[in-house]
């Protein structure tokens, strides 16, 4: 089984398909058999059922995980880095992807606000809809209205089950066989670990497999570990708040 993710290593030189700007009204792209190579897209798949689109996490964990994934996309492009508990912009060149461009513009426009947790909370308020829209534009998701007439809402359902399941299957397969993760999958595993998705991902696996997951995440570069530590704190705080309300 080929466990190398489409798009190769998650590294600063990684560039995906051109997306010059967010259209005023998104136009859904033709469905594609190719799996996404954007980290937020793959985390979106991990966090949702590959057939129904139902969330596997509570809403706040999904939102903060997607926000962290968007920041990691900018980190992977060499636009930002994480130092301690803060974000530092190191390259203001606009990314080709419209959503990365939008996030970077917001970071640049607010230089006084650098706390990573502040940005995870802020970006988390819109991350689900924005990532879903980007995936919808590329044909990975379709929209469906649910709910009664006076309480209707839009949910996003994968257009291809195999594509949606690939991120999950690939990561679970590698971890259960103790295969070293490349940089992209280590980042994806870190997002899963710090949003408490790992018990579902590794359901039925021995404790050694969970230890191997933590080991792989702990071997990632320090800036990435700094972000993940803040993500874990934010998600943990949200869980505690949820349980006490």
Q: Is residue 184, in this structure, part of any structural domain at all?
A: yes
Q: Is residue 2, in this structure, part of any structural domain at all?
A: no
Give the total number of structural domains in the chain. 1
Per the CB < 8 A criterion, the answer to whether 157 and 141 are in contact is yes
Averaged confidence pLDDT in the chain: 85
Q: Is residue 18, in this structure, part of any structural domain at all?
A: no
The neighbouring-strand residues paired with 82 are 87
Q: Is residue 24, in this structure, part of any structural domain at all?
A: no
For residues 128 and 54, what is the distance between their CA atoms, to the nearest angstrom? 13
**In this predicted model, which residue has the larger pLDDT, 23 or 52?**
52
pLDDT at 25 > cutoff 60: no
Phi and psi angles of residue 200, each rounded to the nearest 5 degrees, phi first: -80, -45
**Joined tokens for residue 221:** 């570069």
pLDDT at 86 > cutoff 70: yes
pLDDT at 36 > cutoff 80: no
pLDDT in tens, 95-147: 999 999 999 999 999 999 999 999 999 999 999 999 999 999 999 999 988 77
Domain that holds residue 236: 39-243
Q: Is residue 122, in this structure, part of any structural domain at all?
A: yes
Q: Is residue 25, in this structure, part of any structural domain at all?
A: no
pLDDT in tens, 156-204: 999 999 999 999 999 999 999 999 999 999 999 999 999 999 999 999 9
* CATH number of the structural domain spanning residue 233: 1.10.3630.10
For residues 48 and 33, what is the distance between their CA atoms, to the nearest angstrom? 19
Q: Is residue 17, in this structure, part of any structural domain at all?
A: no
Q: Is residue 115, in this structure, part of any structural domain at all?
A: yes
Q: What is the pTM of this model?
A: 0.84
What is the mean predicted confidence (pLDDT) over 2-6? 37
**Rounded (10°) angle between helices 59-76 and 222-243:** 170
Give whole-number Cα distances, 162 to 158, 202, 243, in Å: 9, 19, 35
């Amino acid at each position: 089984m080929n466990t190398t993710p489409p798009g190769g290593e998650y590294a600063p030189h990684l560039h995906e398909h051109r997306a010059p700007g967010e259209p005023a009204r998104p136009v859904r792209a033709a469905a594609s058999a190719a799996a996404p190579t954007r980290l937020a897209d793959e985390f979106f798949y991990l966090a949702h059922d590959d057939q129904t689109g139902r969330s596997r996490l509570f809403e706040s964990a999904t939102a903060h995980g997607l926000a962290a994934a968007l920041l990691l996309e900018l980190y992977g492009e060499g636009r930002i880095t994480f130092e301690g508990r803060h974000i530092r912009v190191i390259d203001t060149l606009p990314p080709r992807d419209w959503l990365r461009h939008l996030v970077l513009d917001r970071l640049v426009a607010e230089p006084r606000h650098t706390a990573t947790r502040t940005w995870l909370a802020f970006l988390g308020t819109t991350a689900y809809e924005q990532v879903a829209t980007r995936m919808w534009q590329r044909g990975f998701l379709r929209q469906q209205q649910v709910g009664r007439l006076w309480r209707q809402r839009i949910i996003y359902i994968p257009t291809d089950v195999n594509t949606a399941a690939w991120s999950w299957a690939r990561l679970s397969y590698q971890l259960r066989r103790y295969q070293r993760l490349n940089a992209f999958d280590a980042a994806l595993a870190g997002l899963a670990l710090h949003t408490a998705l790992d018990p579902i991902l590794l359901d039925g696996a021995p404790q050694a497999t969970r230890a191997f997951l933590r080991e792989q995440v702990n071997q990632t570069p320090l800036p990435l570990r700094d972000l993940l530590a803040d993500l874990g704190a934010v998600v943990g705080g949200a869980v505690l708040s949820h349980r006490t309300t």
